[in-house]
């Protein structure tokens, strides 16, 4: 029989540094999918979280533990059933659809396991879309897109279409698209799930570097090894946060990873 998960009371996290703004705030957040009677699922239960600007957070948990639901609730792709979600100072819960569209555009960038590039657009056009969609546009969108692609090591692939790129290159385009938005929060759902080890490490390195530059990065994974390089590991079990703190055994250098 499965041991029921123990609930962790941790409204203010251990590693919080004074003076650093809170970018993600979850207060008593629950998410229930109402499948009708016996089919109803509680995907998240009373989650309390504060994530600082520039934190590199790994959300760890087995399949079905609520990781994707948590990211989707933070990024307002899905609405919490109860509780309060505040991201980049904006209250997400109780906000109109129209405002949420704008909220997402200006605050959160998603990276998915399956890359989710536009197949009919080149690498440059895909990344340019990331710049255009924010409407922030201070400068030449194409030049920004090109610079970010160079940053992720794809300067010589800008005119390639997704099908002409390897999985790792496609994921780097997706990361470039997320970075090009300049949004304060990056939410990555199993971003290395379809990549070989070496390429996965390269992708994690890019995300880690971006957090060092001040972006708040949440990476979801079921792979405990990945959590070793996090500033902070949030473990989910059956929709509950069961631990929250620095990686066990201390933070490892990315060169120490293997899986
Ligand atoms: P993870 O990403 O950790 O694998 P999910 O957040 O996708 O977990 O799912 C958590 C739980 O919620 C699972 O039991 C899943 O079956 C359920 N769930 C997720 N999305 C839906 C949905 N749209 N409708 C009903 N149940 C869902
Ligand atoms: Mg998932």
**17 belongs to a structural domain:** no
Question: Which residues, by Cβ under 5 Å, contact ligand 2, an ion?
Answer: 67-68
Say yes or no to pLDDT of 15 above 90.
Answer: no
pTM: 0.92
**13 belongs to a structural domain:** no
**209 belongs to a structural domain:** yes
Q: Whose CA is nearest to atom 14 of ligand 1?
A: 64
Q: Whose CA is nearest to atom 26 of ligand 1?
A: 33
Domain count within the chain: 1
**What pLDDT does 1 receive?**
44
Contact criterion met (CB below 8 Å) for 188 and 220 = yes
**1 belongs to a structural domain:** no
Domain assignment of residue 177, given as a range: 22-256
Ligand 1 atom with the shortest distance to the CA of 69: 6
Does ligand 1 have an atom closer than 6 angstroms to the CB of 96?
no
Does ligand 1 have an atom closer than 6 angstroms to the CB of 41?
yes
Q: Which residues contact 140 (CB under 8 A, 6 or more apart)?
A: none
**7 belongs to a structural domain:** no
Which has the closest alpha carbon to 31: 84, 71, 88, 82?
Answer: 82
Say yes or no to pLDDT of 133 above 70.
Answer: yes
Q: Which residues contact 7 (CB under 8 A, 6 or more apart)?
A: 45, 46, 240, 241, 242
Q: Which residues contact 15 (CB under 8 A, 6 or more apart)?
A: 52, 55, 231, 232, 245, 246
Ligand 1 atom with the shortest distance to the CA of 220: 2
How far apart CA 71 and CA 28 sit, in angstroms, is 15
Does ligand 1 have an atom closer than 6 angstroms to the CB of 61?
yes
**What pLDDT does 164 receive?**
98
237 C-alpha to ligand 2 centroid (Å): 13
Question: Residue 238's domain is classified under what CATH number?
Answer: 3.40.50.300
**28 belongs to a structural domain:** yes
How sure is the predictor about 13, in pLDDT bands with cuts at 50, 70 and 90? low
């Amino acid at each position: 029989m499965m041991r029921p998960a123990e609930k962790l009371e941790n409204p203010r996290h251990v590693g919080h540094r004074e003076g650093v703004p809170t970018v993600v705030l979850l207060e008593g957040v629950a998410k229930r999918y109402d499948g009708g009677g016996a089919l109803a699922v509680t995907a998240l239960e009373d989650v309390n979280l504060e994530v600082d600007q520039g934190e590199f957070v790994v959300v760890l948990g087995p399949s079905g533990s609520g990781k994707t639901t948590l990211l989707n609730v933070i990024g307002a792709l899905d609405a919490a059933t109860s509780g309060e979600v505040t991201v980049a100072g904006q209250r997400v819960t109780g906000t109109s659809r129209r405002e949420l569209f704008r909220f997402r555009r200006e605050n959160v960038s998603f990276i998915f396991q399956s890359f989710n590039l536009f197949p009919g657009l080149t690498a440059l056009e895909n990344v340019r879309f990331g710049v255009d969609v924010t409407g922030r546009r201070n400068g030449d969108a194409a030049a920004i897109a090109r610079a970010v692609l160079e940053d992720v090591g794809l300067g010589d692939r800008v005119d390639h279409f997704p099908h002409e790129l390897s999985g790792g290159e496609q994921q780097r385009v997706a990361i470039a698209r997320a970075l090009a938005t300049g949004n304060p929060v990056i939410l990555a759902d199993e971003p290395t799930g379809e990549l070989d080890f070496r390429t996965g490490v390269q992708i994690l390195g890019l995300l880690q570097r971006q957090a060092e530059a001040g972006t708040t990065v949440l990476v979801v994974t079921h792979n405990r090894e990945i959590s070793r390089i996090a500033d902070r590991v949030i473990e989910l079990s059956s929709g509950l946060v069961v631990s929250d703190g620095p990686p066990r055994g201390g933070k490892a250098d990315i060169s120490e990873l293997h899986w």
